[in-house]
Amino acid sequence: MSEKLSIELINKAKAGNEQAILDIVNSCEFIIISEVNKLNNIPDSEKEDLKQIGRYTVFTSIFRFDESYGASFETFATICVHNKLLDAIKVIPPVILEEPDGENGPIIEPVGPEDELLIKVLKKLFTDTEFKILMMWNYDYSYKEIIDKLNVTQSKIANTITKLKHLKDEIKKEAGL
C-alpha cells in the first residue's frame, strides 16, 4: 500500500469508515503473520489466538497513529503488534518440562521474570509437595491424576488449593483491592 493511500485510508478509518478499517487490517495481515512466526516455542494451538491479538492491535493502532512522527503506518503497526504479542506470550502458561515426580528437578520453565519471582515466592510459602500440587492443578490435572502421580490424598489437594486462595485473599486485602 502506498504512503498516500495509507494516510487516506487511515483518515477514513479514523472517521469510522468500516471498509477502510477492514482494508487496513487485511493489508497488515503479512505483518501479523511475520511477527507471530518470529516467536519461538509457541504451540500451534496458540498461534491463531496471537494472530487475533495482532489484528486487534492493528485496529487500535489506526486510532493511535500520528503521521507527524514521520513513520509509516506499517512501521508503527509492526512495532505495536510486536510489543503486544510479547505482552501476550508473557501470560501463556509456562511449558511443563517433565512430569512432577519429586526427583527430577524443575516442573516448569518460567516464561519471564515475573514468573520466576512468583515461583520463588510460592516455593517459599508451600512445601515441595504442595508446590507440585499447585502446578499440576494450574495445568488442569484432575484430582485423580494428582493423587496418582504424587501419592497424596484428596484432602491434601483441597487443603493446598484453599491455602493458595486464602493467600490470594490476604494479598488482595493488603493491596487494597
Residue 129: per-residue pLDDT: 87
Q: Looking at beta carbons, which pairs linking 75-80 to residues 24 or more positions away fall under 8 Å? A: 77/28, 77/31, 78/31, 78/35
In the DSSP assignment, the letter for residue 94 is P
Q: Break the chain into its structural domains and give their ranges.
A: 3-90, 95-175
The stretch 127-139 carries a mean pLDDT of 83
Q: Name beta bridge partners: 109.
A: 95
Question: What's the gap between Cα 122 and its chain centre?
Answer: 20
Q: Is the pLDDT of residue 28 over 90?
A: yes
- Better-scored residue on pLDDT, 11 or 175: 11
Q: Which CATH code for domain 3-90?
A: 1.10.1740.10
Q: Which of 12-16, 66-70, 116-120, 145-149 is predicted least confidently? A: 116-120
CA gap 152, 102 in Å, rounded:
12
Q: Which residues contact 77 (CB under 8 A, 6 or more apart)?
A: 28, 31, 57, 58, 61, 65
- Is pTM beyond 0.75? Reply is no
